[in-house]
Structures are given as structure tokens and as C-alpha cells.
Amino acid sequence: MSLQIINDGACIRIQQNSAILLVTKTQIKTIDTVRVDTVRIDIGEGALKNIYVRYTDVSAPVVQSAAELKDAIKAMLTSGGSSGSGATEQSQLSIVTELQNLKSIFRTQYYGFGNELDLTKREPSKIDESNPNVIYKGWHKMVGIPANPEWAIQRITRANDVVSYEWAFGSMMQNNVWDERLDGYYLPYDYVRLIE
């Protein structure tokens, strides 16, 4: 039985083969030796939920007694992650920068030009297939009331073997009325400047 106790930053990872138990450092109330060969990790949830570890079962950290294991776990509680570095201002700024980069990627991925949402990456909230040669797809913002001007509407038509994809007024802007989709003016995407 080979057990490893690893410092994982805010947690202590207790791993046996593929079974892993993560215990947050703030959850641990006390660490003590209860027998000559056993360490108890008290997580403050009653005697039946304490974690008992025999030092002879532990392969990492390498220790020679229960007292050494207790001291090794205590050292893990007061240090940062396994690299030995805790949270610093520099590491936090690095994380913030990465989050801003992800935000930028997300906006680029899901938003088109200006404030238009790239609706091709989401499922429509309404589909009208009542005409066998025409399909209307609608994406709404806010609550999706069909009579309100909060819809981007795509029209897909089939004439013989040609399928055409067009948007109400050539735009993915969510400012059309779903109930008026049959009377709308449809153009291929991004022809909005020709109308203006």
C-alpha cells in the first residue's frame, strides 16, 4: 500500500494509486500522532471523518517515524504549492493578464464586427419550418418576446439545388421582430452598408 501526501497549493493531496483525496489546508484543524506509527489529520467534522495515516504506508514524503510525517504535513500547511512559491503580487498579475487575454479571445470568437453577436456559434431560440422551401431561424436577446425588436433572423431558402443563407437587413444585429419575419428584407450577411 503506497500512499503519497503532496503539497498542492491550497490543498494537500493524498493519493493512493489512482484514488485521490484533496483536503483544503483551511479544513485541517490539527495534526497529531495517535499511536507510535499513525498520524491523525483532524478536519473538524467528527472522529469518524478524521484521516488516519500510518507512516509505513507513505512513500512520499519519505519519513522514518510518525512524528516526522506529522512535521512534514505541518510544513505543507504553512508553505505554498509544490514549487515552494505562494501567491505573490507578480503571480496574481500574471493570472489577471491571462484572464484578460481569455476575455479578448472570447469576444473575438463570439462577437462579430462592432457589437454584433456571431450567432452561428449558438443554437437559435426559434425555428420556423412551416414552408418546405424556406426556414427562418431566430436568436433573441433579453426575454425573447416575438413582438419585440430583439431578434436576429436568418432566412434559409432553397430554389432547385441552390440553398441561400440570408439575414434580416443583412445583419446579425438583434433588432428585428420575429413576428414580422415573413415581411422582412433579407440579404446575405454584412450587406447592411449597401442599404444605408
- Could you tell me if residue 84 is inside a domain? no
In a domain, 147, yes or no: yes
How confident is the model at residue 114, as a pLDDT?
47
Q: Which of 28, 58, 78 is the last residue of a domain?
A: 78
Q: Is residue 162 part of a domain?
A: yes
Note down pLDDT in tens along the chain; length 196 residues. Answer: 689 999 988 889 999 988 899 998 988 999 999 889 999 999 888 777 889 999 999 999 999 999 999 999 999 988 765 444 455 677 777 788 888 877 777 665 555 444 555 665 678 889 999 888 899 999 988 788 999 999 999 999 998 888 999 999 888 888 999 999 999 889 988 764 554 4
Q: How many domains does the chain have?
A: 2
pLDDT of residue 182: 93
Whether 32 maps to a domain, the answer reads yes
pLDDT at residue 87, as a whole number: 58
Distance CA(129)–CA(137), nearest Å, equals: 9
The CATH number assigned to the domain holding 57 equals 2.30.29
Provide the residue range defining the domain that includes 14: 3-78
Q: 18 in a domain, yes or no?
A: yes
The DSSP bridge partners found for residue 21 are 14
Is residue 25 domain-resident?
yes
Considering the domain boundaries, does residue 96 fall inside one? Answer: no
**Residue where a domain terminates, one of 21, 46, 78:** 78
> For 115-162, what is each residue's pLDDT tens digit?
555 665 678 889 999 888 899 999 988 788 999 999 999 999 998 888
Q: Are residues 57 and 125 in the same domain?
A: no
Q: From CA 69, how far away is CA 60, in angstroms rounded? A: 10
This prediction's pTM: 0.41
Q: What's the N-to-C CA distance of the chain in angstroms?
A: 75
| Cell digits of residue 94 | 500574471
**Are residue 123 and residue 72 in the same domain, yes or no?**
no
Shared-domain flag, residues 134 and 187: yes
Q: Flag whether 100 is in a domain.
A: no
Do 74 and 123 belong to one domain? no
- The whole-number pLDDT of residue 83 equals 46
pLDDT in the model for residue 120 = 58
